[in-house]
Amino acid sequence: MASNIAATDRLAAGVRQDDGSAGRRRSLRQSAEIALFLLPALLLFIVFVLIPLVEAVYYSGFKWNGLEPLTNWIGLGNYQRALDDQFFTGAIAHNVFLLVLSLGVQQPIALALALALSRGFRGRTFMRLVFFTPYVISEATIGVIWLLVLQPNGPLDQILGAVGLGQFIQLWLADRSLVMTTLFVVISWQYFGFSMILYLAGLTQIPHEVREAASIDGANGAQALRYITLPLLGPTIRVAVFLSAIGSLQVFGLVFIMTSGGPFHASDTMVTWMIEQGLTRTALGYGAAMAVILGAIGLVFSLLYQRFVLRRDIEGSVTSFAG
Amino acid sequence: MTTEIRPGSTHTPASRAWRAINRVLFYAILMFVAALVIVPMLYAVLSGFRSTGALAAAPLGLPDPWITSNYTEILTSGSFWQAFGNSALIAILSTILTLVTSSAAAYALARFQFRGRNAVFNLFTLGLLFPLSVAILPLFLLLHTLNLLDNPWGVILPSVAFGLPTSIIILRPFFRSIPSEIEDAAAMDGCTHFGFYWRILLPMSRPALSTIGVLAVVASWNAFLLPLVVLSNPETHTLPLAVRDFNAQYTQDTARVLAFATLSMIPALLFYIAAERQIIAGLGSGAVKG
């Protein structure tokens, strides 16, 4: 491919040698064309992505409500404030809690379901359709439905009572020690299908022959899983784990809808607390500092993960998982 | 995973019994998970057909009688359709703009040689590392300055911009894989670069473009943080924001809230059923392929 481009390039260069002025006109024209193709995307990206990102870093150095002139430079003051803010450090802890449970509980379940669905049986297409459905519904709708399912004496409590588990009924969203676990369950309910789809896609890439060969060599199901399927699924698992971890740091919509970070900050995440401070209380400088910390945590995690975990996978797979 | 069922294994009666038990267990677990997924949604659908009084008295009961007023009142009230229209407008424009800008940029980055090409491409990939939430506060101020708050474009432009890295990364290798002989032949027939892009490259890339388009529709339709920050006037609210508004407005009227939630699910579910293949293939290929 690259050689083809190089060839056309040489061709263009040849044209340029034949007739200097016409060639220059042509290359000027070509530059203009490239600019026309590239500029709309580049401008959008610079204006709405890069500039706000840089501005977040800049604003984070000011004590600022967003209205007055930007004059009150306090250096790292907002960062100091964030580290001293027990609600922000608590929010980080909540994100880490979600991250650990996502990797430890949600991913294994998604993987197990993908392995189950990768077997041929009647109804698997229907099952896959069902399992993925929550992912395509908005977090707002799912949040509202679960809010009502979980309300005291609501349908969930009724079901528990009806099957004789009444003593396990809790204040699912109002109990400070339980609320994050409840939210984790709802988040997993919505997103396990996404990881499952990734695993299924990875499983279809494993040639049947490999598993057949293992079974001919006398490997039982567990052995084939342990020594054949899981190792070959490695790249997919590493990407799915990465996406799940990054997603856990970004949690916002479901929490915002269901608890708004309550009761009394027991379920704040980094983003809900940043939005609360930055927009509701117009502490924009402080909010920006939290955004930068959030971005930095994600960035450091991404770089370390790519350096130490994704490194062994084929080049290119690292840059194409963002779907 | 319980066990693998292997046709080649031994056929003693005991193992056959085991296999039967395994099979039952296998289905039971899957059915249980499916029920966990379906029941909350079904609860919303059915509760929409009940009165809030009946719902409070017996949260798990079936509609008896079936009341359609919750649904019909929402469907005739206008606020649902307004939110639907806002969502549809934003989703359609975001998707078109994503397809046009990302395919044009990917074309330039895939099939032209120019200085700084890799630098530009790397700049776009940098965007993958930073989610919208990191930029949302400055973005709010920027949109305020540009007078785009409470304006659909205030949602469309940033969401397109944040979607560009993924789209370009999916499209560029696709565009590169189209043989240059085709481009040369087109050029000999007098086809301009734009002509090649528009009449040959884009039609040949339909699978990749439909993947990007479908993912853009889903992302836009379900977006919450950006519309929440940009759209404060209720008349400009998208469906996810309208669900939240409705829940706040009718806190006491649970059945009506669930009817609204149900109606807000329907467009997404219809789109999912229609485009299931593209959605799943798109998400899967993004993670597996290089």
Residue among B138, B243, B273 minimizing CB distance to A140: B243
Which chain B residue lies closest to A206 (C-alpha atoms)? Answer: B288
Give Cα B108 to chain centroid, integer Å. Answer: 27
Round to whole Å and give the CA distance between B43 and B41.
Answer: 5
H helix intervals, chain A:
2-18, 20-45, 51-59, 77-84, 86-101, 107-117, 124-132, 139-149, 155-162, 179-204, 208-216, 221-224, 230-232, 234-250, 253-258, 270-275, 284-308
Q: Nearest CA of chain A to the CA of B72: how many Å? A: 19
Q: How confident is the model at residue A307 (pLDDT cuts 50, 70, 90)?
A: confident
Residue A236: pLDDT over 60: yes
Domain boundaries, chain A: 2-59, 77-320
CB B240 within 8 A of CB A139: yes
Amino acid at the residue A51: I
User: Would you state the pLDDT for residue A252?
Assistant: 97
Please give the Cα distance from A15 to B119 (Å, whole number).
27
Choose the weakest-confidence range: A38-42, A133-137, A181-185, B112-116.
Answer: B112-116
For testing contact with chain B, the best of A136, A151, A254 (most B CBs within 10 A):
A136
Is it the case that residue B1 has pLDDT exceeding 90?
A: no
Phi, psi dihedral angles at A73 (to 5 degrees): -70, 125
B232: pLDDT strictly greater than 80: yes
Q: Which of A133, A198, A215 has the CB atom closest to B287's CB atom?
A: A198
Of B258, B231, B276, B268, nearest in space to B88 by CA = B268
Q: Is the model's pLDDT at A217 over the cut of 60? A: yes
- Chain B: closest CA distance from residue A281 (Å): 12
Which ranges of B48-68 would DSSP assign to H, the alpha helix?
A: 52-57
Q: Which ipTM did the prediction report?
A: 0.90
Tens of pLDDT, residues A76-104 = 999 999 999 999 999 999 999 999 999 99
For residues B148 and B155, what is the distance between their CA atoms, to the nearest angstrom? 8
In contact, B138 and A50? CB cutoff 8 Å: no
B265 with A141: Cβ contact below 8 A: yes
For chain A, say whether B264 makes contact (Cβ under 8 Å). Answer: yes
Q: Which residue of B has its CA nearest to A160?
A: B60
Q: What is the largest CA-CA distance in chain A?
A: 90
User: A176 CB contacts (<8 Å, ≥6 apart)?
Assistant: A263, A264, A266
Q: What are phi and psi of A280, to 5 degrees?
A: -70, -40
Whole-number pLDDT of residue A21:
62
- Using CA coordinates, name the residue in chain B closest to A7: B180
CA distance B224 to B159: 11
User: Which residues in chain B are closer than 8 Å to A44, comparing Cβ atoms?
Assistant: 101, 157, 160-161, 164
Lowest mean pLDDT among A92-96, A211-215, B2-6, B175-179: B2-6
Q: Residue A34: which of B114, B136, B283 has the nearest Cβ? A: B114
Tell which CATH classification among 1.10.3720.10, 3.40.640.10, 3.50.50.60, 3.20.10.10 matches the domain A77-320: 1.10.3720.10
pLDDT in tens, B141-194: 999 999 999 999 999 999 999 999 999 998 998 899 888 888 888 888 888 889
CA distance A159 to A150: 11
Q: Which residue has the higher pLDDT, A289 or B276?
A: A289
Q: Which two tokens stand for residue B20?
A: 């039967």
Cα-to-chain-centroid distance, residue A309: 17
- CA B141/CA B158 separation, integer angstroms: 13
Q: Are A35 and A25 in contact (CB under 8 A)?
A: no
Q: Could you tell me the CA-to-CA distances from A173 to A95, B227, B233 in Å, in that order?
A: 17, 26, 29
Nearest to A239 by CA among A305, A286, A187, A292: A305
With a CB cutoff of 8 Å and minimum separation 6, the contacts of A9 are B113
Is the Cβ of B215 closer than 8 Å to some Cβ of chain A?
yes
Mutate which: B134, B202, B222, vs A, most A CBs within 10 A: B134
